[in-house]
Structure formats: structure tokens, C-alpha cells
Structure 1
């Protein structure tokens, strides 16, 4: 651990939390969307009676189970860090964030844990209708989990509804104001849409990979078609939601937006949009900037000549690390427009009737498979690093939130986390990729497992092929 000897305990504690949360967030970002996708597949099976949907449901259910388990395990570890590395933060903010995190356990986790077993193993035991209810409950549990966790994080970004006691703790005064703080609705919508996009890109990549091998595979065709529809619908919504979220951030966390835009100095006559450049934190400028005049004011104020304040209006001690925020924001936005391009390409191919016969489209979809995860991570880096140097924005500094630990102790736990996480979750990820490498069931001759499915009481409607809008073969 000699390579960590030059770092202090605070930086190591921040690195440890960043590492664990980065590993954790990729799993919920996938399972939130995948749970909803499974519910749609099962609903389509019950509605149409087509075994194609049941086969796809079984295919993705195995992957969901493993990703869900890894998400739960990676999330449990994070809660311990509040007590070990961030005890001062836990003491100061605990009266507010503690109950919110307990609500997540009482609602989301109990809902997921109560119905997950039925969803995974109960189709042949409880019947299709009750099993579908269990699938809906699990999908609902993932939503509630995101609801409460984002409420906690959003309160740290835009705190309200609290007071302070003699011990300097934040104490709740208005729970409605705490839960529904100013940034929460925007961040919840933004994150849920990101989860749906992440899942659509993964499903689309898997479908595209198998279409490259066998263009006639009905399972691969169906999952690719559904994924591209989701991408085409959700990507424009995400761009609009992101714009609204940015305007909300400008109102409540202007320093974060200044860092995102690279605005070290104020622009009284309209601010340019800096496309690329090299932010220099010490000099307070973006070197070699490639910019479009007045476009930032047009985007943020809807007026090209509107003045925009820069970081020169804020004390330097309160500046976030601009280079990190500047580039993570551009990675997120760049991938968002790449998703839009892929969705438009898929619409063009669908209109021409070549959705399943466009190998370059399929290769692009495979290449874009991990893009949702990268965009989510870039978005979280923008959000969390942009809040610095505070844990509770404007009220509690990160340097004042850490536990009184020595650097070697934090370094030891960080190294342990890195080794264990890469070993355990790396193996789990490789197994998921192995499952994805197997082609879905080619046709509709029956479930892959060959197990009987009790469909008593289910009256399927005439099967319709949604891709051709005509009766299925």
C-alpha cells in the first residue's frame, strides 16, 4: 500500500465511497429497467398467449436475478461506510437521512424480498396471474428504492424543511419539504429514464449480437425491436428532462452549472457554449477552448444575450473541481446524443423494412451496449463532484464530515474493497455476459426449460406480430 502513502485520510475515504458507489450504481441502473421489461414481457404473454414472450421472459429473468443480487450486496457495504468513514456526517445529518433510508428498507426492500422468490420460482406453482402480480411488485419495489435513495441524495443537494439543534444536528421540521425538495422530482425522472435507456441499450445489444449470427432468430428480432422502440421513445424524453434538470440546478446550485459549462468568469452580454477545452483550475480559465458564442445563455436562459455569472463571483474555497465536472458532463451529454443517433437510425431502418437486415446498425447497437452504464456513471460524477466541497450543499463541508481516522486504516479497507469487488462482481459480470452469449429460443415451440406452464383461466387474445402489425405466423 506504499502507493497510497501520500494521500490523506479524507481523500482516501472519498475514493473508497466513490469506488463502491460506482460499482453499486450500475446494477440498480440495469435492474430498474429490466424489472419493468420483464413485467411487459409477461403482460404480453398473458395478453397474446405467444410463447415467444414467455421464452424471452425466462431468458432475461436469469440475468435479472444475478444483477439484482449483486446490486443488493454492493449496496449493503455502502451503508457501513457512513459509520466508519463518515461518522460526523452521520451524526449531523442522521436525523434527516436516517428515516428516509429506513423507509427505503421498509417499502422497497421488503416489497422486492417478499415477491422476488415468487417471481423467480413460482410460475409453475402460483399460476400466471399471481406470478404476474409478483413481477409487478418487484418492478414497483425497484421504483420505490430509487424514490427514497434519490430523495436522500437530492436533500443533500438542495436541503430544505429542516432546523438545527444545540448539538448542530439537522433535525426535520417538514417531512414533505424534505422528501420533495426542489431538485428531487427532476433527479428522479432523470434517473428513471436513464435506467430505462441503460436496459434498452443492453437488450438491444444482445438482440443485435444474435441477429448478426442468425437473422431469422425470432427471439433476437423481438428483443431488438422492443429495445429500439424504447430507445426511440425515451431518448428524446431524457434530453428534455436533462434540460429541465439543468435549469433547476442553475437555480439552486449555480456553482455546479458554472463548473459543467467551464465558466470561470462571468459573461454580462451572453455566455458561449464551450464544447471542448482544458480547464485550468489554478489559472481560472479554460485553455484552448472551442466554443459557440452566446449559445450557453440561449440554452440556460433562453436568451442569447442574457448575462451568466461565473465562478469569479464565488469564493475560490467553494469552487468544485471544474476539470472533473466539465469532462464528466460532456461524456454524459455526448453519449446521450449518440443514443439519439442510434434511435433515429433504427427508425429509418424500420421504416425501410430493414431493421433485421442492417448489419452495420446491429454492430452499432452492440458497440452502444455499455453506453448507458458509462452515461449513468458520468452523470453521478457530475452530480456528486459538482456538489463539492460540501456533503450537504452550502451547509456541511466534506472536510468536516469525515471520521477521525488515520490514512493507513482507510487505505487498507480501500485496497480490500478493490480486490474483493473486482473478484466477486467481476465474476458475476462475466457470468451475466456468458448468459447473454447464449441465443434466445429461436421460435415458439415451447419454453426452453420444457416445463409445463399452468394457463388455466387465461384466455389469450389472437396473437399479433407487433413488428408487422398483422396476425403472427
Structure 2
């Protein structure tokens, strides 16, 4: 019976990972992309130049497609609380339920309502109302992130509640929402969304340019996204540092796994690479910089960091947290280098060279990889708890037959893979179609111009 329960729990964890991994891809784009669209609208009003609306029209279609997939995949997330994790809602449903409800009432309804105006009202609604609709959708996406991150942060650093007969009851909603890790997680996710959307926009715009698109709109979108990324990545580094200090205070076992620290020590080196070994409780093939982990995490080169051995079996799996953190940080550094390099070209009024456009194309979905890596560090780093110190993953898991979970996991995986491939193909199809339309419009304009010139010459000759 114990083997059966563990098997079911593991399958449920994998299924939740598949669902959340697919779902998070789309909000990580739409949260920030909505604000980029609002920026395009404001610039269109201020300059009255049609290029801003051309950029808006292309990217609002991308937003709509991405938003739709985010909604569809988000619906399946709520099903799992009842089917795979009944212990979660039974124990903390008094907190999770209202927070999820607030997200629907204050955010999703506003997004869904005014998205229609964004898509179909450009030529039907007053310009000010269409711009207002874009602003409200932008606010809605951010509010959605606010409530979801409030719940997730509470699960990481719970407060503002009391346990009565094994059930959590709220004592202070302010403390629940604004729990110790919430401000750092919210800013970290919003900035991550900004970088994800910027590199998506840069990659697709670079693709259009590489395909021969000579219009100003893709160049404008590329420049906007590059400058935005160049500004956001230093902020992300700063917020990441503050987030690390907060995590060290409230979840030291997660930090120990991120850094591969087994024994509590001072002057801990930063491991650029290592192979953690949980059986031997050590690392192999370490490449380290002396004292740097202590300096970064405590702002003191001799600062103390607790090791994993302090927590016995109450610490997360080390390898996924250790490697996930390095993938996230490595991509962040690469984003910094690429965005600043491109910004220098733009500041000098130069076109980006082909190799740099290709780099942006290859990094189109780099934000996705970094976001998923960071999300895995956060979620796996909380194990063995679902709600830190309150509810373990094992306690919350369902006891249904593992075959039932395995079958639904298989179906989810197939559908999500197909949708992901279709989404990526559609994005690049839209980009190619835009190039073809631009070429046709340019050719059509040239033919009309030549026809007008010939008519003028004929009229002059007759006269």
C-alpha cells in the first residue's frame, strides 16, 4: 500500500509539473506584452505616425493567441486541486480558494472583457477608448499575477493564519497576502515576464528582418524590445539579489540546495559547476570561486550559510535545484550581454549585423527556458512541503490508483506537446505572412504609382 501511495504521489507531482510548465509559458508573455502594446498605442497618439499602429496590429494578434492558450491551460490547473491534491484544499482551502477567486473577479474578467475591444475595436471605437481598453487589459494581466503570486508566496512563507482541527483559518488577510516573500517574488516574476516578452518580440522581429522585411515596424519593435530588455535585466539582477537574501532568511534549505552547500560554513565558495551527490552528501568536479557565495548571499565574504546536513531529510532534491538555478542565472547573463551589445549598435545609429539578428532569433524563447528553470528552483526547492512547515506534498496527494493519474498525464502531455508545436509554428507563420503582405503592399503601391505617372504623362502629351 505504501508503494502504491508513493507511486501515485510521484505521478501527481509529474502531472502538476507538466500542467504548470505548459501554462506558465503563456502568462510569462502576456503580462508584459500587454504593457508593450500599451506603449505602442501611446506612441501612436503622441507621434501620429502609422508605424506604431502597424506594430500594434501585428503584436496584438500574438497577444490574443497567447492569451487564449493561457486561459485554456489555466482551466486544467484548477481541476488538479480536486483530483490530484484533495489534501491541499481540505487543509488550506480557506486561504487558497478566496485568493484564486479574487484573481478571477479582479483580473480575468477585466482582461477577457476588454480584450475584445483591443482586437476588434481599432477601427470601430474612439481612439481614446481603445487605448483605455489596452491599459485595462495590461492592468488585468498584472493583477492576475498579483493574486497568483500572493498565493504561491504564502505557500512558501505562510503567515496570517491559525490551524484549527487541522484546517487553516485566516487571522489577518493583510499578512496572508503581503507575506514575507511576496514583494520579491512578484517583482521577480514581473521582470521575468518583461524579459520573456522582450526576447520573444526581438526574436520574431529579427526573423522578419532576416526574411527581407524592409518595413519600419519590425525594426521599431526590435529596437523597443532591445532597449526594454537592456533596462530590465539590471533591475532583475538587483531584485534577484534581494530575493536571495529573503530566501536565505526564510528558506535556508532552498539556498543550500541552490548553492550545493552540504556543511554549514563561513566564506562559502560560489560553485560555477559541480555534480551534487546526495548519497555521499558531497559534490564532485567542483569549479568554484572562493568566498563568493557568502559575499553574494550575505554581503559578507565570511558570512555563514547553513548546509543541507542541518536539515536531515527535510530539504529539497539537490540536483534539479542546483542545475536549475545555474541555467536561470546563465541565461540572465547572456540576455544582459546580448541586449547591451544591440543597444550600443542602436545608440550609434547602426543596423544590427546579421549575426546579432540571428542571435536574437535563436534566443526567441530564451525567456521561457529561464522562467521554467527559476520556477523549478522555487517549487522543487520547497519540498518536501506543499505549504512550508504546514502541509507536506505526501499529505496532500490523492490516494487513487496510479493508473488513473498516469493515463491523464499521458493525455495531457500529448495535447500540450501538440499545442506547443502549433503555437510556435503559428508565430513564425504570422511573421512570414506579414513579410509577404508587406511585399505585396509595396509592389501594389509601386504599380499604382507607375500607373499614375503614366496617366499624367499621357495627359500632358495630349494637352
Same fold (TM over 0.5): yes
- In structure 2, distance between residues paired with 1:259 and 1:151: 24
- In structure 2, distance between residues paired with 1:419 and 1:213: 32
* Residues 169 and 59 of structure 1: CA distance in aligned 2, closer, same or farther (over 3 Å): same
Is the 8 Å Cα contact of residues 346 and 352 (structure 2) preserved in structure 1?
Answer: no
**What residue in structure 2 maps to residue 432 of structure 1?**
427
- In structure 2, distance between residues paired with 1:284 and 1:76: 41
**What residue in structure 2 maps to residue 219 of structure 1?**
217
- In structure 1, distance between residues paired with 2:216 and 2:306: 55
2:128 counterpart of 1:129: yes
Is the 8 Å Cα contact of residues 211 and 432 (structure 2) preserved in structure 1?
Answer: no
2:105 counterpart of 1:106: yes
**What residue in structure 2 maps to residue 383 of structure 1?**
378
- In structure 1, distance between residues paired with 2:419 and 2:272: 39
**What residue in structure 1 maps to residue 416 of structure 2?**
421
Write out aligned runs for 1:397-408 (5 A). 397-408=392-403
2:371 counterpart of 1:372: no
Q: Name which of 229, 235, 238 aligns with 2:236.
A: 238
Give the CA deviation at 1:233. 0.5
Deviations 1:354-413 (A, max 9, x none): 2x2411211111111111010000010000000000000122111111112111111111
Give the CA deviation at 1:165. 1.1
Is the 8 Å Cα contact of residues 276 and 290 (structure 1) preserved in structure 2?
Answer: yes
TM norm structure 1: 0.90
Is the 8 Å Cα contact of residues 123 and 131 (structure 1) preserved in structure 2?
Answer: yes
* Residues 252 and 15 of structure 1: CA distance in aligned 2, closer, same or farther (over 3 Å): same
2:325 counterpart of 1:326: no
Structure 2 regions of 5+ residues with no counterpart?
446-463
Structure 1 regions of 5+ residues with no counterpart?
451-473
Write out aligned runs for 1:133-212 (5 A). 133-166=132-165, 168-212=166-210
Give the CA deviation at 1:279. 0.5
Deviations 1:441-473 (A, max 9, x none): 998x999xx9xxxxxxxxxxxxxxxxxxxxxxx
- In structure 1, distance between residues paired with 2:210 and 2:256: 44
Bigger RCO of structures 1 and 2 (CA < 8 A, at least 6 apart): 1
2:267 counterpart of 1:270: yes
Q: Name which of 342, 348, 351 aligns with 1:352.
A: 348
Give the CA deviation at 1:419. 1.6
Which entry has the higher C-alpha Rg, 1 or 2?
2
- In structure 2, distance between residues paired with 1:270 and 1:216: 55
Give the CA deviation at 1:226. 0.5
- In structure 2, distance between residues paired with 1:446 and 1:128: 25
Deviations 1:49-79 (A, max 9, x none): 1110111111111111111000000000010
Write out aligned runs for 1:453-464 (5 A). none
Is the 8 Å Cα contact of residues 56 and 219 (structure 1) preserved in structure 2?
Answer: yes
Give the CA deviation at 1:346. 1.2
Give the CA deviation at 1:257. 0.4
- In structure 1, distance between residues paired with 2:422 and 2:152: 30
Give the CA deviation at 1:440. 5.7
- In structure 1, distance between residues paired with 2:366 and 2:377: 16
Give the CA deviation at 1:215. 7.0
Secondary structure of 2:169's match? strand
**What residue in structure 2 maps to residue 466 of structure 1?**
none
Aligned Cα root-mean-square deviation (Å): 2.0
Q: Name which of 295, 299, 302 aligns with 1:298.
A: 295
- In structure 2, distance between residues paired with 1:425 and 1:307: 44
Q: Name which of 201, 208, 227 aligns with 1:229.
A: 227
Q: Name which of 282, 285, 288 aligns with 1:288.
A: 285
Runs (4 or more) in structure 1 with deviation over 6 Å come to none
Secondary structure of 2:399's match? coil
Secondary structure of 1:320's match? coil
**What residue in structure 2 maps to residue 252 of structure 1?**
250
Deviations 1:207-263 (A, max 9, x none): 222222337431121111111100110011011111111111001100000000000
Is the 8 Å Cα contact of residues 104 and 145 (structure 1) preserved in structure 2?
Answer: yes
TM norm structure 2: 0.92
Deviates more, 1:426-435 or 1:34-43: 426-435
2:50 counterpart of 1:51: yes
- In structure 1, distance between residues paired with 2:223 and 2:213: 13
Aligned length: 440
Give the CA deviation at 1:434. 1.3
- In structure 2, distance between residues paired with 1:299 and 1:418: 39
Is the 8 Å Cα contact of residues 280 and 287 (structure 1) preserved in structure 2?
Answer: yes
Is the 8 Å Cα contact of residues 56 and 440 (structure 1) preserved in structure 2?
Answer: no
Is the 8 Å Cα contact of residues 51 and 446 (structure 1) preserved in structure 2?
Answer: no
- In structure 2, distance between residues paired with 1:330 and 1:142: 29
Deviations 1:147-175 (A, max 9, x none): 00000000000000000112x01110000
- In structure 1, distance between residues paired with 2:232 and 2:437: 28
Is the 8 Å Cα contact of residues 112 and 142 (structure 1) preserved in structure 2?
Answer: yes
**What residue in structure 1 maps to residue 407 of structure 2?**
412
